[in-house]
Amino acid sequence: MVHLPIFMDNNSTTRVDPRVLEAMLPYFSERYGNAASRHHSFGWEAKDAVDRAREQVAELIGAEAREIIFTSGATESNNLALRGVAGMYRTQGNHIITAVTEHKAVLDPCKRLQREGYDATFLPVDRFGRVSAEQVAQAITPKTILVSIMAVNNEVGTLQPIQEIAGVCKEHGVLFHTDAAQAAGKIPIDMQTPERQRISNVLHPVRKVPSDERSRGIDLASLSAHKIYGPKGVGALFVRRRDPHVRLEPIFDGGGHEGGLRSGTLPVPLIVGFGKACELCLQEMRVEAVRLGTLREKLYHGITSRMSEVSLNGHPTERLPGTLNLSFAHVKGDALMMGLRNVAISSGSACTSASVEPSYVLKALGVDDELAHSSIRFGLGRFNTEEEVDYVIDEVVRTVERLRAINPMYEIARQGNESAGSQPP
Ligand SMILES: *Cc1c(COP(=O)(O)O)cnc(C)c1O
C-alpha cells in the first residue's frame, strides 16, 4: 500500500529527516541562546552548537570550518558569491562567465551586475546540458574575475565537469564559484580534492590528494540545507581561505557576524539541523546514491519499456542519481500534470506572472516548446520506496496512454510514421 499523494519532487525540496528534527528541537526550546552572547552560558551553548554544525558542514565538502559562512540558503549564497567577488575585485576586472542553464539565483544576480556596468557571458550548453572546460577557457579575457558554473543542474540533473573547469580557472588566475545546492550531500564533492567523482565511483572512498592540489580547487561553493533533508531557510557559502584567500564584499552590513561577511543573528536551530543533515549525508550518501540510481533506472525502464516516444532530458550517464527528466510526445503538459495529481512532480513549464513558459533549461538543451511543456521531472529522494516507483510507473503509463488515445494528432502521427516506414527506399 502506498500513501497518496506520493512526493517525488525532491529536487525542489525535501522532508526534514526525523533525526535532523530531533537534533534541532532543543534549540527552539530550552537552548535558545544567541550565539553572539559572550557573557553567559546560554550564549556559549549556542555558540558550541554552531561551531559543531560548522565542522559538520565543512567535513561534508572537505573544507575547513572557518571557510563556511552560514546564510539563509543557496539563493543568498549565490548572491553573496557573485556580488561579493564583483565588488571586491572590481579594480582587477569586470567580466563574469556563467552558463544559460544556471539557477535563477545565479542568472539574475549576473543580469543585475550587467545593469551596473559589469560584463557577463552566458555560455550555451550541449544537448545534454553540459558546458566544457574549453568553452570556459575560450571565454576568459584579461578582464574576467569570476566563473560560476553549477555542479549539478536542478532540472535535468546533468553534472558539469567542474573539476576541469576549476583547473582552467586556476590556470588563468580567475576565481571559480559553483552552485552546489544539488550536489553537496548527494554526490561526493570535495573542496580539498577538486574531484567530484563519477557516480559510478560512489562506492569507492573519495580520493584524498596532497594539499598542494588544493590550489586547483573550487574557490566558492553554495549549499542549501533543505535539498538534503535539512530545514528550509539555511545554507552556506564555502569561501576558500588559503591558496588563494578569497575576499568578498558583504551584501549587507550589521553586527559583523560570520567574519563580517554575513551580518545577522545566527538561526541556531536551523544551523544545528543543517549540520546534522550534512553528517547524515556524509554517512549515507554512497549507499543512498546507489539505491536512488537503481530506483531511477527502474522508473525509466518501467515507463519506456511500455511506451514509445518518450525522450530523456539531460545526460544519460553524467547525471544525479535520483533525477529523471522525461518528455512525453503527443500529450498536453497541463493535461498530463492534471492526470498525475496523485504524484508530486515538476513539469517543464514555469509560470511567470504573465504566462506559462517552457522551461529555459530544456529550451537550452534544444527541446522544442511543445515537448518542454509535456516534460516531467521526477526527483527521487531518501524517503521514496520501490512500491512508490511501481505505482508511479503505472500511473504515468496509464495517464499518457489515455491522453494520447483522445489526441487526434497522435493517431495521424502514428499512421504517418507507419506509412513512412513502409515506403520503399
Ligand atoms: C534550490 C536551489 C537553489 C536555491 O536554494 P535555496 O536554499 O532555496 O535558496 C539554488 N540553486 C540550485 C541549483 C538549487 O537547486
pLDDT bracket for residue 191 (50, 70, 90): confident
Can you tell me the mean pLDDT for 396-420? 85
CA of 341 to the centre of ligand 1 (A): 24
In tens, the pLDDT along 122-168 reads 999 999 999 999 999 999 999 999 999 999 999 999 999 999 999 99
Residue to mutate, 227, 237, 323, 359, ligand 1, most ligand atoms under 8 Å from C-beta: 227
The strand pair at 235-239 and 68-71 is best described as antiparallel
pLDDT at 420: 63
pLDDT at 110: 98
pLDDT for position 216: 58
Between the CA of 404 and the centroid of ligand 1 the distance, in Å, is 35
214 pLDDT tier (thresholds 50, 70, 90):
very low
Dig out the grid coordinates for 99 from the structure. Answer: 552558463
The DSSP element (H or E) to which 147 belongs, if any, is: strand 144-148
Cis, bond preceding 244 (omega within 30 deg of 0)? yes
Counting Cα atoms < 13 Å in the Cβ hemisphere of 350 gives 10
Helix (H, G, I), strand (E, B) or coil at 378: strand
- DSSP-derived pairing of the beta strands 175-179 and 144-148: parallel
Q: Whose CA is nearest to atom 3 of ligand 1?
A: 74
Average pLDDT over residues 273-300: 97
Render pLDDT for 28-70 as a digit per residue (tens, 0 to 9).
Answer: 999 999 999 999 999 999 999 999 999 999 999 999 999 999 9
Q: In Å, what is the CA distance from 138 to each residue of 3, 110, 190, 219, 414? A: 51, 19, 26, 20, 45
> Which residue reads 576541469 in cell numbers?
164
Secondary structure element (H or E) that encloses residue 393, with its range: helix 386-405
351: cell is 509560470
Q: Is 407 left (phi over 0), alpha (psi -120 to 50) or beta?
A: beta
pLDDT for position 197: 37
Contacts (Cβ under 8 Å, ≥6 apart) of 21: 273
Q: Which residue has the cell 566544457?
A: 132
Give percent of the chain above pLDDT 90: 84
Percentage of the chain beyond pLDDT 70 is 92
pLDDT at 200 over 90: no
Beta bridge partners of 122: 98
CA 154 – ligand 1 centroid, Å? 8
8 Å CB contact between 82 and 107: no
Chain center to CA of 258? 24
Q: What is the pLDDT of residue 211?
A: 44
Give the pTM: 0.93
Measured from the Cα of 234, ligand 1's closest atom is 7
The answer for 26, left when phi > 0, alpha when psi is -120 to 50, beta otherwise, is alpha
The residue contributing the CA closest to ligand 1 atom 2 is 181
| Among protein residues, the one whose CA lies closest to atom 5 of ligand 1 | 74
Nearest of 96, 101, 97, 99 to residue 116 by alpha carbon: 96
- Distance separating alpha carbons of residues 144 and 60, to the nearest angstrom: 30
pLDDT beyond 60 at 209: no
How many Cβ atoms sit within 10 Å of the Cβ of residue 108?
15
Lowest mean pLDDT, pick from 186-195, 223-232, 340-349: 186-195
DSSP three-state, residue 71? strand
Band (pLDDT 50/70/90 cuts) for residue 411 is confident
pLDDT in tens, 61-97: 999 999 999 999 999 999 999 999 999 999 999 999 9
Q: Which of 58, 75, 72 is nearest to 184 (CA)?
A: 58
Ligand 1, residues at Cβ distance < 6 Å: 73-75, 103, 105, 150, 154, 179, 181-182, 224, 227, 235
Span of 174-183, 284-293, 407-416 with lowest mean pLDDT: 407-416
Question: Active-site positions?
Answer: 351
The predicted-structure confidence for 335-366, as pLDDT tens digits, reads as follows: 999 999 999 999 988 776 677 899 999 999 99
Between 315 and 350, the more confident residue is: 315
Is 187 a residue whose pLDDT tops 50? yes
Mean residue pLDDT across the chain: 92
| pLDDT single digits (tens) 230-241 | 999 999 999 999
CA 223–ligand 1 middle distance (angstroms): 8
